[in-house]
Amino acid sequence: MARAAEEMQDAFFAGHRSAAVPFVINDPVEIVAGPHAGRHGAVISIEAVAPELHLRVELDDGHDAVVVAHQVRLMEDAG
């Protein structure tokens, strides 16, 4: 499990999206569910990979929020 998490971190920081790593560093996102729904920000780190992928998002007001990946939508202007 630790090796898989390390590979996900490597892909995240290298900018390589996949089914396992749907978001990468600095991706612009909208939070679509949960207490921060409707907020925008940028993904800045992977916080956990199990039991679900959790991401740290720097919100548009400068605060951070940790969200489950399924609560986040990639914005259209992402590469």
Domains and CATH numbers, the chain: 2-74 (2.30.30.30)
Q: Is the pTM of this model over 0.95?
A: no
pLDDT (0 to 100) of residue 5 = 86
Residue ranges for the chain with pLDDT beneath 70: 1, 77-79
Which tokens belong to 41? 């920000």
pLDDT (0 to 100) of residue 2 = 81
Which tokens belong to 25? 């560093």
